[in-house]
Amino acid sequence: MRKPILAGNWKMNKTVAEAAALVTAMREGLVAIPGVEKVLCPPFMAIPEVARLVAGTEIRVGAQDMYWEPSGAYTGEVSPVMVKEFCDYVIIGHSERREHFGETDATVNRKIKAAFAHGLTPIVCVGESLALRREGRTETWVSDQVKAALEGLSAEQVASLVIAYEPIWAIGTGLAATAEEAERVCGQVVRATVAELYGAAVAEAVRIQYGGSVKASNIAELMRQPNIDGALVGGASLSAEEFVAIVRYSAEAKGLA
């Protein structure tokens, strides 16, 4: 069975002191939950302190983005070499990066390749807008995003990465895809596209998360779906109690706790 992976994307929230307090509040609860991979993705400034606080536990740390060059005259950017010092994971292609900061399918692909080159595991985000959904273009849009993201990657690399299906219309809106809808896209679109490109074995190995208004109240139903292997959690990951509950209910839904 694919190991479930729950990642908390804190976005641009929490000072270093606040991040330390949040990790301290959730650390014991997360460590006690078996069989589930837990990843915390704080802002860049807080990554070293979060990494220090979870050292020696199974909790992993991820960055929310990175540039593809290892060093150079790129003012304001953070390189994979810098990220690798503290992190195992890096979120790439989040819809907010695409919408607000000009991220494209081409830059997403370059960042994924750079992540692998430096021993980082990418969490690759795909998802459609409300307008695309209303136009009935969810399947083609998401499939095309997956194809563009994975271009030039080896089968081994694809099998090891994480794909997060995040419908843009559900991010931070309080609207979540139904479990059946999320399962359909994760299975019949995302996993099916990977199978088309790399074969059934790779498609069965790749882990697919759902993201978009994930809460303790809806995670169990999502995680009971066979093609949903975890969640990329936004606002709810800023509450220690809520995030621990999400991870616990996920483990229970998969029969691991």
Kindly list the catalytic residues: 94, 166
Of 34, 92, 35, give the one whose Cα is nearest residue 62: 92
Q: Running DSSP on this structure, what letter comes out for residue 166?
A: -
Backbone phi and psi for residue 24, each to the nearest 5 degrees, phi listed first? -60, -40
Instruction: Using alpha carbons only, give the angle 232, 37, 104 rounded to the nearest 5 degrees.
Output: 35
With helix as H, strand as E and coil as C, how does the chain read?
A: CCCCEEEEECCCCCCHHHHHHHHHHHHHHHHCCCCCEEEEECCHHHHHHHHHHHCCCCCEEEECCCCCCCCCCCCCCCCHHHHHCCCCEEEECCHHHHHHHCCCHHHHHHHHHHHHHCCCEEEEEECCCHHHHHCCCHHHHHHHHHHHHHCCCCHHHHHHCEEEECCHHHCCCCCCCCHHHHHHHHHHHHHHHHHHHHCHHHHHHCEEEECCCCCCCCHHHHHCCCCCCEEEECHHHHCHHHHHHHHHHHHHHCCCC
Locate 112 and state its tokens: 């994924």
